[in-house]
Amino acid sequence: MGAALTLDLTADAPDVARAMIGWTLLVDGVGGPVVETEAYRQDDPASHAYPGRTPRNAVMFGPPGRFYVYLSYGIHWCVNVVCGPEEVGSAVLIRALEPVHGIQTMRERRGREPLRELTSGPGRVGQALGAGPWLNGGVVHLAPPDRDREVVATVRIGITKAVDRPWRFLDPASPYVSRRARTAA
DNA sequence: CTATAGATAATCT
DNA sequence: GATTATCTATAGG
């Protein structure tokens, strides 16, 4: 079957996160198909929106289809797409994508790294796309997938709360996903 | 290959 | 002052 032609950003965050796999994300012509996402909802202790509206997460409570960009650990700009039923404060974190458009630009921004490590991780994606405060609140541009992709759900990574929720979605066939899922045997 | 710690700045208590 | 939706470098097998 052909891939979906529309993406309902007003759906529940986990549904949007799963549906977004395979869609091509472009920032100023640079980007590629999304292969790894994570969902964050307001009723989710791990979400930035959980404590309520603050200056940083204000965009999450705005209309869907906008970028929510924040600085992580003082060095990494992480890119999210605001989604959710209404303005409830949910978003999808872009954890990895396949470098297809503007590879040269991404390499220059990240400094000659192997293609495989260009965009395999939230901080890397942010740096490769040239994300920053100026992108926060901007309109997201997504192009439909060329073909179907397998999608699996796993637990999220790098969080300390609500670790059990299987809201990380990825394409297991793509070599560009971040692989740090092995913690237990 | 795995494991551990350091970097580094905004946000929150 | 503590915490964080991370990455990289370094040490060890």
Place of tokens 């913690």: A183
Give nearest nucleotide to A51 (CA–C1').
Answer: B12
The DSSP string of A86-135 is: SSS-EEEEEEEE---BSHHHHHHHHTS--GGGTSBSHHHHHHHTT--GGG
Boundaries of every domain in chain A: 13-170
Mean pLDDT of chain A: 93
Return d(Cα A76, Cα A173) in angstroms, integer: 26
Residue A92 token pair: 């999808």
How far, in Å, is the CA of A182 from the C1' of nucleotide C13?
Answer: 18
The protein footprint on chain C, as nucleotides within 7 A of a CB, is: 3-8
CA closest to C3 C1', residue: A73
Place of tokens 């869609």: A23
A4-52 pLDDT per residue, tens: 789 999 999 999 999 999 999 999 999 999 999 999 999 999 999 999 9
pTM, rounded to two decimals: 0.94
pLDDT score of A181 more than 60: no
How far, in Å, is the CA of A154 from the C1' of nucleotide C9?
Answer: 28
- The mean-pLDDT minimum among A53-57, A77-81, A90-94, A109-113 falls in A109-113
Q: What is the CATH number of domain A13-170?
A: 3.10.300.10
The amino acid present at A1, given as its one-letter code, is: M
A137-152 pLDDT per residue, tens: 999 999 999 999 999 9
Give nearest nucleotide to A68 (CA–C1').
Answer: C5
State whether the beta carbon of A159 lies below 7 angstroms from any atom of strand C: yes
